[in-house]
Structure 1
Amino acid sequence: MDEVQQYERYLRERITALRSQKGVSEHRLSLELGKSGSYIRSITSGATMPSMKELFNIMAYFEVSPAEFFSGLQGTNTLRAALTEKLRELSDEDLEKVSLFIGWITKV
């Protein structure tokens, strides 16, 4: 599999993972993005790829930055990637606690 195919596969799998985490169907996600009901299915099946603008809309829908969206490309077995995934699952209240803790341990 060449590099471009690996990126395309990652993109499809990442959209599927984020969609599953949020508990939204492909059909519903498509409609909420203002597209036809089969739009996301056409991406996840490999029939098409989103434009850059639509990819940014997908990221905005899931409230992830481009860096967060593509973080798994750098290696899914790293501690940083594992912690990033856990942080995504935390509530805002818990994120505040983590932020305070990080501030405390990084003070010189």
Structure 2
Amino acid sequence: MNTKEAFGTRLAKLRTDTDISAREMSLDLGQNPSYINRIENQKAFPSMQVFFYICEYLKITPGDFFDMHTDYPKEINELIEVLQDLNSDQLKLIRQVAEEFNKKK
């Protein structure tokens, strides 16, 4: 998979996971209606500045965007924010629950 293809595929997954149309995202970013669709179909590539806007729009970091092993980076970042306010016992309980969910995969 080439760079444009990987980038477009990742953008499409992250965008569809947020349940936002390519057209809506394009317009929200101040671009023409087909902009995101063109990136996802490897016909365009965003500038660095627009890439940062895309990450901000999706509520992820640039690192999250390129971490292909993490399917739901926005949700993980939101969970981390909540976890930071918990005490040690609460965190241990959350970890046990998460480990149980992983066993059932």
TM-score by length of structure 2 reads 0.70
Structure 2 residue 5 is the aligned partner of structure 1 residue 19:
no
1:89 maps to 2:75: yes
Higher relative CO (Cα under 8 Å, sequence separation at least 6) belongs to 2
Identity of aligned residues (%): 27
Of 31, 43, 60 in structure 1, the residue corresponding to residue 39 of structure 2 is 43
Deviations 1:20-65 (A, max 9, x none): 1111111111000001101011111111111111111100000100
The equivalences for 1:1-108 within 5 A come to 5=2, 7-72=3-68, 76=69, 81=70, 85=72, 88-89=74-75, 92=78, 95-97=81-83, 100=86, 101=91
> What is the DSSP-based 3-state SS (H/G/I as helix, E as strand, rest coil) of the residue aligned with 2:43?
coil
> Could you list the runs of 5+ residues in structure 1 that have no partner in the other structure?
none
The DSSP-based 3-state class of the residue aligned with 1:89 is helix
* Cα-to-partner distance string for 1:55-98 (whole Å, 9 max, x where unaligned): 111000001001111111xxx3xxxx46xx3x633695785247
- Paired with 1:60 and 1:31, the residues of 2 have a C-alpha distance of 15
Q: Which stretches in structure 2 are left out of the alignment for 5+ residues? A: 96-105
Deviant stretches of 4+, over 6 Å: none
In 2: Cα distance, 1:52 partner to 1:93 partner? 28
